[in-house]
């Protein structure tokens, strides 16, 4: 198991490096022009523009700029934002907020999806199965932004009708809240509900269908027939033998979809006004804040790679057949 872990770790590092390069080149070539704003302003001389260009290293070749950037990144210096804030602490602060949303939503989605998907497989073609499948389709056909805005709207309406603030629709916590650890975190949990519900409904829809398929395949497998032939109870066959196998592919899917969930977080944070990583990207892009954007993409890539690594390890633990590869 240890050897397996080390091998996976070794493979991840080049991936991060390659991602960082692609990310940088992407922003440098296809991204917007950081000087666009300056150019549009009246009364700005060409000399000023050229000076700024030199300050931002834009007059150097791409590869060299990449080298400068990477050197800085390794040291922990990711530059400064347009608002002259240090990018690294800004990013890390925002990251914490987003991780709350993303991890909570992922966890809940997996649990619900496994439950619904497995039930659908066991009671195949039942009313539950058809209903679950239909709603799964409805939810994963829904764009994140619309569902988010819809839940926000309904949350506001519900609040008005009840006359009190049951649903939190703005931000990730109440600003200036005084109180101990529990108070703060309960408040945060309350703010989590609607945004994570958005992500959960959509993600769980996709995963439950996948789990259903996986469970069906497992239930048809020969070893389930053997288990029944041994006289094992249906419950044990289901939970101990079937579910254990059916969950293995799900781990892979969750890992792959992690990047998608982050994308969903971008939209959800924007709608619900969270000060997380997601909204940071949108804001930064609006003002062509190159440093923030590059750092954002780098951190995200690292995050996804780490998450995939963890998923790989979990997969290796669950499926002994992969440990030898």
Give the span between the Cα atoms of 89 and 74, in whole angstroms.
Answer: 15
Dihedral class, residue 273 (left if φ above 0, else alpha if ψ from -120 to 50, else beta): left
Within residues 44-83, the interface with other proteins by CB under 8 A covers none
Asked if 271 is part of the footprint of other proteins (rule: CB under 8 A), the reply reads yes
> Which of helix, strand or coil describes residue 238?
helix
Q: Which of 191, 153, 177, 199 is nearest to 274 (CA)?
A: 191
Asked if 262 is part of the footprint of other proteins (rule: CB under 8 A), the reply reads yes
Q: Which of 262, 261, 259, 254 is nearest to 312 (CA)?
A: 254
Within residues 81-140, the interface with other proteins by CB under 8 A covers 121, 124, 137-138, 140
Among 69, 272, 296, 315, binds other proteins (CB under 8 A): 296
Asked if 156 is part of the footprint of other proteins (rule: CB under 8 A), the reply reads yes
In the complex, minimum distance from the CB of residue 128 to other proteins, in angstroms, rounded to a whole number: 15
Q: How many residues bind other proteins (CB under 8 A)?
A: 78
Binding mask 164-203 for other proteins (x = CB under 8 A): ----------------------------------------
**Inter-CA distances, 313 with 8, 104, 150, 197, Å:** 8, 20, 38, 28
Nearest CB to other proteins, comparing residues 200 and 299: 299
Give the span between the Cα atoms of 72 and 275, in whole angstroms.
Answer: 26
- Residue 243 DSSP symbol: I
Within residues 240-259, the interface with other proteins by CB under 8 A covers 241, 244-245, 248, 256, 259
Asked if 7 is part of the footprint of other proteins (rule: CB under 8 A), the reply reads no
Contact window for other proteins (CB under 8 A) among 14-22, 68-76, 80-88, 178-186: 14-22
Q: Which of 194, 125, 197, 133 is nearest to 166 (CA)?
A: 194
Nearest CB to other proteins, comparing residues 74 and 229: 229
219 Cβ contact list (under 8 Å, min separation 6): 121, 122, 242
Asked if 39 is part of the footprint of other proteins (rule: CB under 8 A), the reply reads no
What is the number of helices (H) and of strands (E) in the chain? 13, 0
Among 1, 6, 51, 150, binds other proteins (CB under 8 A): 150
Asked if 141 is part of the footprint of other proteins (rule: CB under 8 A), the reply reads yes
In the complex, minimum distance from the CB of residue 60 to other proteins, in angstroms, rounded to a whole number: 20
In the complex, minimum distance from the CB of residue 150 to other proteins, in angstroms, rounded to a whole number: 7
């Amino acid at each position: 198991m240890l050897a397996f872990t080390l091998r996976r770790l070794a493979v991840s590092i080049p991936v991060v490096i390659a991602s960082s390069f692609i990310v940088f080149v992407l922003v440098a070539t296809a991204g917007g022009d950081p000087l666009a704003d300056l150019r549009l302003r009246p009364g700005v001389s060409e000399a000023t523009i050229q000076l700024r260009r030199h300050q931002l290293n834009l007059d150097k070749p791409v590869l060299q700029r990449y080298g400068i950037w990477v050197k800085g990144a390794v040291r922990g210096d990711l530059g400064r934002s347009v608002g002259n804030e240090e990018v690294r602490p800004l990013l890390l602060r925002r990251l914490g907020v987003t991780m709350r949303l993303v991890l909570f939503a992922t966890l809940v989605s997996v649990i619900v999806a496994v439950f619904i998907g497995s039930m659908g497989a066991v009671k195949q073609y039942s009313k539950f199965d058809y209903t679950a499948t239909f709603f799964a389709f409805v939810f994963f056909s829904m764009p994140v932004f619309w569902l988010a805005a819809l839940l926000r709207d309904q949350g506001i309406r519900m609040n008005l009708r009840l006359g009190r603030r049951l649903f939190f629709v703005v931000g990730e916590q109440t600003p200036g809240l005084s109180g101990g650890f529990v108070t703060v975190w309960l408040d945060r949990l309350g703010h989590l509900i609607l945004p994570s519900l958005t992500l959960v409904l959509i993600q769980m829809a996709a995963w439950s269908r996948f789990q259903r398929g996986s469970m069906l395949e497992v239930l048809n497998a020969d070893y389930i027939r053997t288990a029944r032939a041994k006289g094992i109870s249906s419950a044990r066959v289901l939970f101990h033998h079937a579910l254990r196998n059916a969950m293995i592919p799900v781990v892979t899917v969750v890992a792959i979809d992690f990047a998608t969930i982050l994308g969903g977080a971008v939209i959800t944070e924007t709608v619900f006004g969270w000060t997380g990583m997601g909204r940071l990207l949108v804001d930064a892009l609006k003002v062509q804040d190159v440093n923030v954007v590059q750092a954002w993409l780098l951190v995200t890539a690292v995050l996804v790679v780490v998450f995939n690594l963890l998923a790989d390890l979990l997969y290796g633990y669950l499926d002994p057949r992969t440990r030898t590869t």
